[in-house]
């Protein structure tokens, strides 16, 4: 029995290895970029700029993915993220709201995000609806409401403060990237260093055990959807700033992208396990793929065909690395047992 | 003892689940600093009772007094706040949280919502030390602990609360002999501090050793309250079952081991789990494997069954190489695994479908299932195993723990099983049903079925098996006919073993 | 010459490149081109026309960048295009408002932008705007329907409408045009079921519409691609008491009008030939030339194509233009 | 104790009650229709025709939902159904395929469906990819390939046999409805009366238990995706016939509709439980909602807002009925116990 103490903390390793796998995938994508467009990659300024562009393109969906990761770890799913963004974006760019200036617009987007998340949360936690159905219903409704509010028009943001968020930099790094970084760090701390985060894992991993441990599972579930709604509110501002406008169809299919990024990053769709860093890597993989296609100017249909293949390859590669390295590590660390 | 104050008093507690009256007038009185044992057959209502105390279920009627005050905890949290901590029968831990996080789940030491990880780890280490398990790392994830380690963590969790009453629902079921001693030491320390313990177990010997008083439940009613723990077995069993019978092993007809072996395991190894294991099982023979928890017996059984791939070595059943579960089952091997909930049961499916999970294809005609035949066969098996309730259409989820175990064993009585692997088959099974299960195993053997049995209860291995293998740290260190061994020898082998090493078969 | 005014004199969708001073080879022009990913015949035709037109000129190099599935993807793609500094950029934005900032960026970088079809709100974001007339399209359809019904003497007609993706602004404009035209006759739309520019969604929308209106006099379907499904639904429901007007002017639609064996009697154009014109004009802008039929020395800032009504009578003239 | 044998099979009761709930929802929708458009509902011919229309419009998605229900019960999810339909539809309407006539087109559609399903199945069962990711990748790739094959054009079917499927009737009932009925009956039998169905429930409910009972979990998982692919192949023919054409964007978002219908019908998203009849009712609810909106000429944005509400109300209503009725039934049947 005493020999067991020597065992490493296996899963932390698992996570690091999974993430390493994703870093490998990212590296592979970059190598493909270098090989196919050497002339671009030979210019350091271009490379630097390209990295920032990739990060910037990943920022809004990255923020959404952080919220989604919490929801999935907590045992749910949120199909309404894209719709929440649209509703928050549209609401905060109505003429009436724009009259209150940037602060009013930001406030509106966040409150709309929180409110819709709250409705989701209440329906799911207390109305006992399956989250898939409740958020699907919300997807449909919120986009409908957004269309109603905007009169199906693209609403242009005339607020320079808002519009300049997307074009400003801080210490050479785009503000949007800073926002993403802040959300990721906050998400990591929340998941790994707070009671809220630990309880999220418990609620998703074994709700019965969580209940027996005295956790208010319903309340916690509700809060997870509120959190996701809040992230959507933030993302709505980011996207509005990027597009200097908002419309009912914006952030289309973000739900799929966010879920896919979270899962590729190692979050278990059935809940109880997941990592914020992995989710970030998942987002970066997707955004790097898009970049790679753009610099190679692939036709969209070819892009799509290839993209599916890359996703599969990425996950396989990651699994492969993960398994073989895990085995290696196990052997090395467990010689005392056999 | 009798002058100690009563901390908990239950009168006429009734609890109905849809379709079942689980509690039908329960009385219970627990005094400060005593170990109060709850005894009763599978499905008698013990777990239900303690879940009412824990705030998981709510009584339909009846009176609960907790330290003189009426008490009706609405949530587990309320019960914990009142000073009642519970170790549940089903391990309810979160796989992807660490040991420390599980111990303090729901009442994490924290500052402004931030967990104090060092403090949590230190507190956990202290509790684990007091439990005699300083080797369990607080930072280790639960999923990486063996079953016994999980049980320790469950106990640690109960101790992490400042409880006045600790309820333990079959805590010893997954513990080996030495661990049970350890558990008793802790219980004695608790009671010395005035903490009351409600202890549930199907092992009468344990109740004798640790219990002060006993309350017996039968079919949801209290049939005897506040008996001395030293009440004769015959009387206790009588109160539980309404019948009188002993914890006995039926006599064995000797088997002819000169026949060709049914199962041949040749130098099987899996890194980190077990090494160089060779054994045989003959038709009609019962082979028992004794060993400490964590000695690798479950892994060995699963590897023989083809559920794990061996690093080296071969398994042959009747001349057929076993390369996977598929071939194993096809050639007549069956296994009742250790963790019934995660490894064996479809909880939402009815009993009969669980029983025929490995044989529905054999009942089927041209791919079409024959539900009626399955039900009839399942009903017969339910009779053989004394399943309660005897309703094979009820979802397995609503069965008590012991009865779920019977369903798992019953699965392999239905097919054309020729070799049965049993991993802790009587865990959580009550005395009466245990005797029936032993009889079933003997009948199987008499029909020529080979049985390979793993059990942490040494008397069970010695009483049931023809031949005993002793396993320690992943190696077989001794093989002998059951008649040549006694409990003390086996325990010595299992724990120390050094003196006998040379004798290893 | 501009294709929209006189399509008959061009080979399908290419402008006449001979017998015209502007056709003479000039300095080399690199034209960057971006249009949304096509899962629709009209957009596919836009890209094809642009490529075909560019191939006509020896002094034009066309660099197409794929614009992906949404405005964000197109922004990213255009960022890489701007970095390559073409002489002119021709783009059909996913959404004019959402790509306004990108248009400004290109213009600021000294690259003239030709906006195809979907206007930028800011005039500084483009050098030339060439677009179809969505409102005019609805107007034309409404006028045709109104005239026909008036001629038949129907006083209280039941009119159905099947728009495309309803959340798009262009759909809104088309609907507004239709309603305005019908109002002149005192008519209005009785039921409106949007589809998604695909044939199967057209079938579904039309089936629902036909069910809701057991008797109908006229139907405007905004898009000929989805119209294939609409016509199928009409046949499946065994209906024929009404006539239908299409939109955009696809080859199949023009053929059906010519054959006159279905309810489809007319279609109002929204021709992808505008892409060909855009390339020609982009070349002129790149070379600093004007349009030879105009007195002005430079290409004008805005061109809006008229939406024409194709009927059995003039269908032969348009046959070549169908996409 | 013997009285218990008389107890109804609880699980079946639950299912029947859930389905009863959905029938209630359907009835409510019809009542709303009658109240809002009495003049239409007063014409028996119209009503009859309307019912057939609803069924006909539900037919293709219904077939897909049957396959999806199997996949979900088996513990997976298939996001690629819409894309498979598009690929099968496009492939079977290329000029080259159309040259082989109706049989060739049907054969092509079915083979494409089977083949794509097989690829999904192999990736998931043997490549150990999460089904969400594998089928998402397939979604992207298959639509890309469909766009490539069709040159992004709408491909018109010139085959009269194919085109007439959608307009033909048999004993007064549209052929498409017959196909749906056949698939539903086959699916019901397969799920409830065959070893394949039993394995599906076991594999989805507890894969480890299924494995230890000797079931080849991988092979079975693979077969489930093949089955779903086959259903998509059938649906592709049905849709092609309805639209007399196929294109890369067809059957857009069918995955969401099919999953939602299955779940509303009582299938557990986490696997191990589900019913074919429930899934059919789920599809009918959606198709009736669309019909209701059409006859009332609701604007799209209002439609969407209302639709979300109806979905939530339907599930809540169903839960409510289900709970109270279950309790009633239980009480009535168990008098011997108390
Ligand atoms: N959630 C439930 N729903 C329906 N019936 C239940 C439920 N939980 C328990 N029961 C039933 O209540 C009765 C008492 O079960 P309980 O678990 O309390 O027994 P137990 O005495 O703990 O048995 P064991 O020794 O096997 O653990 C059994 O008949 C069981 O089937
Ligand atoms: N999930 C796991 N992760 C890491 N090691 C494990 C895990 N499960 C078991 N082990 C290791 O495998 C060995 C055998 O464990 P196991 O508890 O299954 O043995 P056992 O003899 O079957 O005991 P039991 O009486 O509990 O069945 C031990 O060394 C244990 O540490
Ligand atoms: Mg119990
Ligand atoms: Mg074991």
Q: Which of B135, B146, B426 to mutate to test the pocket of ligand 2 (most atoms within 8 A of CB)?
A: B146
- Mutational test site, ligand 1, from B400, B403, B430, max ligand atoms within 8 Å of CB: B400
Which residues in chain B (14-33) have CB-CB distances under 8 A to chain D?
16, 18-21
d(CA D323, CA D331): 12
pLDDT at B401 over 70: yes
Helix (H) or strand (E) holding A87: helix A81-92
Supply B204's token pair.
Answer: 């009468």
DSSP character string of A30-70 = HHHHHHH-HHHHT-HHHHHHHHHHHHHHHHHHHHHHHHHHH
At residue B499 the predicted structure's pLDDT band, cuts being 50, 70 and 90, is: very low
* Owning domain of residue D60: 9-328
Contacts of B313 (CB under 8 A, 6+ apart): B265, B266, B267, B268, B269, B276, B277, B278
Q: Which CATH number fits domain B6-241: 2.130.10.10, 3.40.50.300, 2.120.10.30, 3.30.460.10?
A: 3.40.50.300
- What's the whole-number mean pLDDT along residues B170-174? 81
The residues facing B170 across adjacent strands are: none
D40 touching C (Cβ < 8 Å): yes
Which one, of B428, B354, B423, lies nearest residue B392 by Cα?
A: B354
Residue D2 lies in a domain: no
Mean pLDDT estimate for chain B: 86
Q: What's D151-207 look like in SS3?
A: CCCCEECCCHHHHHHCCCEECCEEHHHHHHHHHHHHHHHHHHHEHHHHHHHHHHHCH
pLDDT at B238: 79
* pLDDT grade for D12, boundaries at 50, 70 and 90: low
The predicted-structure confidence for B309-344, as pLDDT tens digits, reads as follows: 999 999 999 889 999 999 999 999 999 998 888 899
Instruction: Give the CA-trace dihedral at D146, D150, D152, D156, to 10 degrees.
Output: -120
DSSP H helical ranges for C155-198: 169-185
pLDDT value, residue B126: 94
Answer whether residue B22 shows pLDDT above 80: yes
Q: Are B434 and B202 in contact (CB under 8 A)?
A: yes
The model's confidence at residue C14, banded by pLDDT at 50, 70 and 90, is low
**Tens of pLDDT, residues B433-477:** 788 888 888 888 988 899 999 987 888 888 889 999 998 888 888
Q: Spell out which residues of chain B touch residue A273, defining contact as CB-CB under 8 Å.
A: 95-96
Q: What is the pLDDT of residue A278?
A: 92
CA distance, residue D197 to nearest chain B CA (Å): 9
Contact of D46 with chain C, judged by CB distance below 8 Å, is answered with: yes
Residue D1 is predicted with a pLDDT of 34
Residue D4 lies in a domain: no
Nearest-by-Cβ selection for B113 from A5, A194, A212: A194
Q: What pLDDT score does B501 carry?
A: 38
Euclidean distance between CA atoms D301 and D305, whole angstroms: 6
Gap between the Cα atoms of A129 and A134, Å rounded: 6
* Reported confidence tier of residue B306, pLDDT bands at 50, 70, 90: very high
How do strand B84-87 and strand B165-169 relate by DSSP bridges? parallel
Using one digit for the tens of pLDDT, what is the confidence trace for C255-292? 999 999 999 999 998 888 888 889 988 999 988 888 77
Interface probe with D: pick from C69, C176, C199, most Cβ of D within 10 Å:
C199
Our CA-based measurement puts residue C182 at a distance from the nearest CA of chain D, in whole angstroms, of: 18
Q: Report pTM.
A: 0.87
Q: Do D312 and A134 touch (CB under 8 A)?
A: yes
Output D256 or A12, whichever has higher pLDDT: D256
Q: How far is the CA of B52 from the centre of ligand 1 (A)?
A: 12
In a domain, residue D338? The reply is no
Nearest-by-Cβ selection for D198 from B343, B360, B389: B360
Distances (CA, A) of B38 to A94, B196, B199, B224, B253: 68, 13, 6, 10, 36
Chain-chain contact of C65 with A294 (C-beta, under 8 angstroms): yes
Q: DSSP code of A194? A: B
Q: Write out pLDDT tens, residues C43-66.
A: 888 888 899 899 989 899 998 887
The answer to whether B367 contacts D195, with C-beta atoms less than 8 Å apart, is yes
With cut-offs at 50, 70 and 90, classify the pLDDT of residue C13: low
Q: Is the CB of B101 under 6 A from ligand 2?
A: no
Q: What's chain B's length in residues?
A: 505
Distances in whole angstroms, Cα of residue B205 to Cα of each of B202, B251, B441, B457: 9, 22, 23, 12
pLDDT at D143 over 90: yes
Distances (CA, A) of B259 to A289, B23, B284, D149: 66, 52, 10, 67
Give distance in angstroms: CA of B411 to centre of ligand 3: 21
> Does residue C17 have a pLDDT over 80?
no
pLDDT at D248: 92
Confidence of residue D336 (pLDDT cuts 50, 70, 90): very low
Label residue D334 by pLDDT band (50, 70, 90): very low
Indicate the residue of A7, A195, A337 with minimum beta-carbon distance to B108. A195
Those residues of chain D whose CB sits closer than 8 Å to some CB in chain B are 1-2, 4-5, 7-11, 193-198, 201-202, 205-206, 208-216, 272-273, 326-327, 330, 333-334, 337-338
Q: List b or e across D68-78, with b for residues whose CB sees 16 or more CB atoms inside 10 angstroms.
A: bbbbbbbbbbb
Q: Please indicate if any CB of chain D lies within 8 Å of the CB of B462.
A: no
Partner-chain contact D206 B305, CB within 8 Å: no
Tokens 């195809």 belong to which residue?
Answer: C116
* Location of each CATH 3.40.50.300 domain in chain B: 6-241, 263-494
| B126 to A193, B99, D239: CA distances (angstroms) | 22, 13, 67
Proportion of chain A above pLDDT 70, given as a percent: 89
Q: Is residue A335 part of a domain?
A: no
Q: How far is the CA of B36 from the centre of ligand 1 (A)?
A: 20
Give tens-digit pLDDT for D76-124: 999 999 999 999 999 999 999 999 999 999 999 999 999 999 999 999 9
pLDDT, average across residues C111-133: 90
Backbone angles phi, psi at B277, to 5 degrees: -95, 125
Question: Is the predicted pLDDT of residue A263 greater than 80, yes or no?
Answer: yes
Interface confidence, given as ipTM, is 0.85
- Within 8 A by CB and 6+ apart from C170, the residues are C118, C134, C164
Q: Which atom of ligand 2 is nearest to the CA of B338?
A: 27
Our count of domains for chain A comes to: 1
Please state, as a whole number, how many other Cβ atoms lie within 10 Å of the Cβ of residue A327: 11
Residue A11: pLDDT above 50? no
Q: Tell me whether chains A and B touch (3+ CB pairs under 8 A).
A: yes
Asked if pLDDT for residue D162 goes beyond 50, the answer is: yes
Q: What are the tens digits of pLDDT across the range A99-115?
A: 999 999 999 999 999 99
Mean pLDDT of D29-50: 93
Question: β-strand C159-162 against C218-221: which pairing, if any?
Answer: parallel
Of A5-14, D151-160, D166-175, give the lowest mean pLDDT range: A5-14
Report which of residues C95 and A288 the model is more confident about. Answer: A288
Q: Are A103 and A85 in contact (CB under 8 A)?
A: no
**DSSP per-residue string spanning B159-210:** HHS--SEEEEESGGGG--HHHHHHHHHHHHHHHHTT-EEEEE-S-HHHHHHH
The whole-angstrom distance between D330's CA and the closest CA on chain B is 6
The answer to whether position A334 is within a domain reads no
Interchain contact, D312 vs A123, CB within 8 Å = yes
Using CB atoms, list chains with 3+ pairs below 8 Å to chain C. Answer: A, D
Domain membership flag for residue A337: no
Ligand 1 contacts (CB < 6 A) are B 17, 20, 22, 40, 42-48, 89, 398-403, 428, 430
User: Which of B16-25, B323-332, B360-369, D115-124 is the least confident region?
Assistant: B16-25
Q: Is the peptide bond before B462 cis (omega within 30 degrees of 0)?
A: no
The answer to whether residue B118 neighbours chain A at the CB level (below 8 Å) is no
Sign of the alpha-carbon dihedral angle for A119, A124, A128, A130: positive
Q: Which atom of ligand 1 is closest in space to residue B403's alpha carbon?
A: 26
Would you say residue D212 has pLDDT above 60? yes
pLDDT score, position A325: 57
Tens of pLDDT, residue by residue over C208-229, are 999 999 999 999 999 998 999 9
The candidate with the shortest Cα–Cα distance to D140, out of D116, D157, D124, D107, is D116
* Of residues A5, A189, A273, nearest to B96 (C-beta): A273
Q: How confident is the model at residue C39 (pLDDT cuts 50, 70, 90)?
A: low
Check CB contact under 8 Å for A311 and D140.
yes
Spatial CB neighbours of D44, under 8 Å, sequence gap ≥ 6: none
Question: What is the average pLDDT score of chain A?
Answer: 87
Would the CB atoms of C76 and A243 count as touching at under 8 Å? no
pLDDT of residue B495: 64
Q: Which of A162-166, B209-213, B397-401 shows the lowest mean pLDDT across its residues?
A: B397-401
Mean pLDDT, range C186-197, rounded to an integer = 93
User: b/e per residue, A97-120, with b = 16+ CB within 10 A?
Assistant: bbeeebeebbebbbbbbbbbbbbb
Give residue D285's pLDDT band: very low, low, confident or very high (50, 70, 90): very high
What confidence tier does D320 reach under pLDDT thresholds 50, 70, 90? low
Q: Does A247 map to a domain?
A: yes
Ligand of minimum distance to the alpha carbon of B87: 3
Query: For residue B231, how far is its CA from the centre of ligand 1 (angstroms)?
Result: 26
Which two tokens mark D127?
A: 């490549």
Share of chain C above pLDDT 90, in %: 47
Whichever domain contains D305, its CATH number is 1.10.3470
Range with lowest mean pLDDT among A10-14, B495-499, C146-150: B495-499
For residue B226, give Cα distances in angstroms to A208, B6, B233, B422. 33, 12, 15, 36
pLDDT at A335: 34
Distance from CA of A136 to the nearest CA of C (A): 19
Whether the CB-CB separation of B7 and B196 falls below 8 Å is answered with yes
Chain D interface test: which of A129, A136, A153 (most D C-beta within 10 Å): A136
Arch. (CATH architecture) of B263-494: 3-Layer(aba) Sandwich (3.40)
Taking the Cβ of residue B92 and every Cβ of chain A, the question of whether any pair is shorter than 8 Å is answered with yes
Rounded Cα distance, A285 and A290, in Å: 9
- Edge-to-edge strands, sheet with B312-317: B274-281, B263-270, B312-317, B320-321
For residue A146, the distance in angstroms to the closest alpha carbon of chain D comes to 8
């Amino acid at each position: 029995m005493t020999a067991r103490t020597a065992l490493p903390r296996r899963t932390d390793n698992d996570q690091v290895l999974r993430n390493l796998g994703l870093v490998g995938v990212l590296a592979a994508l970059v190598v493909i970029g270098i090989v196919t467009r050497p002339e671009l990659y030979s210019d350091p300024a271009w490379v630097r700029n390209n990295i920032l562009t990739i990060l910037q393109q990943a920022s809004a969906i990255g923020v959404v993915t952080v919220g989604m990761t919490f929801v999935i770890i907590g045992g749910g799913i949120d199909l309404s993220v894209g719709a929440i963004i649209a509703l928050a974006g549209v609401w905060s760019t109505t003429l009436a709201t724009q009259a209150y200036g940037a602060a009013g617009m930001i406030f509106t987007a966040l409150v709309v995000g929180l409110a819709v998340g709250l409705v989701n949360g209440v329906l799911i936690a207390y109305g006992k609806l399956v989250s898939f159905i409740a958020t699907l219903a919300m997807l449909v409704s919120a986009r409908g409401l957004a269309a109603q509010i905007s009169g199906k028009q693209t609403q242009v943001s005339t607020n320079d403060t808002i519009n300049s968020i997307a074009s400003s930099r801080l210490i050479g790094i785009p503000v949007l990237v800073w926002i993403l970084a802040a959300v990721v760090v906050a998400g990591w701390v929340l998941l790994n260093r707070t009671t809220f985060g630990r309880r999220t894992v418990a609620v998703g991993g074994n709700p019965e055990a969580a209940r027996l441990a005295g956790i208010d599972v319903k309340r916690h579930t509700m809060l997870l959807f509120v959190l996701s709604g809040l992230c959507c509110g933030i993302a709505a501002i980011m996207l509005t700033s990027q597009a200097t406008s908002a419309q009912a169809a914006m952030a289309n299919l973000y739900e799929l992208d966010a879920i896919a990024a979270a899962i590729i990053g190692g979050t278990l769709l059935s809940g109880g396990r997941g990592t914020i860093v992995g989710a970030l890597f998942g987002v970066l993989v997707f955004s790097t793929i898009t970049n790679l296609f753009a610099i190679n100017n692939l036709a969209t249909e070819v892009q799509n065909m290839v993209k599916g293949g890359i996703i599969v390859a990425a996950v396989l590669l990651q699994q492969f690395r993960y398994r073989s390295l895990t085995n290696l590590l196990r052997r090395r660390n467990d010689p005392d047992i056999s | 003892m009798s002058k100690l104050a009563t901390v908990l008093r239950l009168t006429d507690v009734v609890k109905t689940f849809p379709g079942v009256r689980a509690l039908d007038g329960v009385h219970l009185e627990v005094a400060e600093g005593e170990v109060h044992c709850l005894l009763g057959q599978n499905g008698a209502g013990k777990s239900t009772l303690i879940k009412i105390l824990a705030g998981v279920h709510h009584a339909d009627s009846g009176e609960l007094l907790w330290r003189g005050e009426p008490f009706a905890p609405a949530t587990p949290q309320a019960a914990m706040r009142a000073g009642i901590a519970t170790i549940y029968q089903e391990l309810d831990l979160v796989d992807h949280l660490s040991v420390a996080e599980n111990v303090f789940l729901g009442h994490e030491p924290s500052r402004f919502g931030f967990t104090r990880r060092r403090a949590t780890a230190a507190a956990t280490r202290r509790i684990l030390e007091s439990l005699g398990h300083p080797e369990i790392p607080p930072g280790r994830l639960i999923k990486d602990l063996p079953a016994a380690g999980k049980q320790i963590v469950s106990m640690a969790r109960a101790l992490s609360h400042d409880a006045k009453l600790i309820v333990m629902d079959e805590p010893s079921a997954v513990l080996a002999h030495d661990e049970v001693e350890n558990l008793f030491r802790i219980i004695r320390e608790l009671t010395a501090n005035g903490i009351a313990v409600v202890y549930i177990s199907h092992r009468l010997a344990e109740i004798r050793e640790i219990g002060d008083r006993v309350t017996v439940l039968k079919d949801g009613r209290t049939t005897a309250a506040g008996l001395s723990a030293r009440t004769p077995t015959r009387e206790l069993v009588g109160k539980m079952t309404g019948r009188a019978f002993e914890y006995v092993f039926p006599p064995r007809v000797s088997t002819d081991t000169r026949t060709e072996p049914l199962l041949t395991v040749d130098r099987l190894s899996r890194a980190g789990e077990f090494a160089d294991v060779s054994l045989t099982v003959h038709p009609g023979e019962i082979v028992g494997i004794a060993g400490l928890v964590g000695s690798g017996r479950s892994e060995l059984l699963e590897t023989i069954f083809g559920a794990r791939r061996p690093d080296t070595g071969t398994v042959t059943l009747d001349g057929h190489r076993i390369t996977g579960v598929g071939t194993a089952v096809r050639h007549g091997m069956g296994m009742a695994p250790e963790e019934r909930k995660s490894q064996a049961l479809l909880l939402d499916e009815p009993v009969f479908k669980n029983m025929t999970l490995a044989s529905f294809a054999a009942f089927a005609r041209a791919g079409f299932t024959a539900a009626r035949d399955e039900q009839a066969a399942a009903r017969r098996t339910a009779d053989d195993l004394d399943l309660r309730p005897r309703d094979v259409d009820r979802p397995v989820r609503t069965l008590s723990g012991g009865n779920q175990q019977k369903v798992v064993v019953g699965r392999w009585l239905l097919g054309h099983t020729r070799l049965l692997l049993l991993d802790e088959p009587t865990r959580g099974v009550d005395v009466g049903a245990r005797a029936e299960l032993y009889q079933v195993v003997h009948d199987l053997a008499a029909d020529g079925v080979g049985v390979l049995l793993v059990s942490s209860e040494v008397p069970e291995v010695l009483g049931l098996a023809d031949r005993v293998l002793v396993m320690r740290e992943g190696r077989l260190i001794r093989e002998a006919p059951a008649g040549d061994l006694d409990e003390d020898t086996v325990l010595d082998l299992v724990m120390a073993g050094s003196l006998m090493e040379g004798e290893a078969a | 010459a501009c294709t929209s005014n006189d399509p008959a004199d061009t080979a399908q969708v290419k402008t006449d490149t001979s017998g015209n001073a502007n056709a003479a080879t000039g300095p080399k022009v690199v034209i960057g081109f971006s249009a949304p990913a096509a899962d629709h015949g009209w957009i596919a035709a836009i890209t094809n026309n642009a490529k075909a037109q560019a191939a006509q000129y020896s002094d034009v190099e066309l660099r197409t960048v794929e614009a992906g599935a949404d405005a964000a993807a197109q922004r990213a793609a255009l960022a890489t295009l701007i970095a390559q500094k073409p002489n002119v950029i021709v783009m059909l934005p996913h959404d004019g408002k959402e790509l306004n900032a990108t248009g400004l960026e290109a213009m600021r970088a000294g690259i003239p932008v030709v906006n195809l079809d979907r206007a930028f709100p800011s005039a500084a974001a483009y050098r030339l705007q060439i677009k179809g007339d969505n409102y005019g399209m609805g107007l034309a359809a409404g006028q045709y329907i109104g005239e026909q019904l008036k001629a038949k003497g129907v006083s209280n007609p039941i009119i159905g409408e099947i728009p495309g993706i309803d959340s798009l602004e262009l759909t809104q404009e088309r609907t507004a045009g239709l309603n305005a035209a019908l109002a002149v006759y005192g008519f209005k739309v009785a039921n409106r079921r949007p589809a998604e520019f695909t044939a199967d969604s057209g079938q579904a929308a039309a089936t629902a519409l036909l069910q809701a209106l057991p008797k109908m006099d006229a139907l405007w379907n905004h898009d000929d691609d989805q119209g294939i499904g609409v016509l199928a639904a009409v046949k499946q429901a065994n209906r024929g008491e009404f006539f239908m007007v299409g939109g955009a002017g696809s080859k199949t639609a023009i053929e059906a009008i010519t054959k006159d064996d279905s309810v489809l009697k007319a279609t109002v154009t929204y021709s992808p030939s505008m892409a060909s014109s855009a390339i020609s004009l982009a070349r002129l802008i790149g070379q600093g030339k004007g349009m030879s039929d105009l007195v002005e020395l430079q290409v004008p800032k805005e061109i809006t194509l008229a939406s024409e009504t194709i009927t059995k009578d003039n269908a032969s003239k348009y046959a070549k233009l169908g996409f």
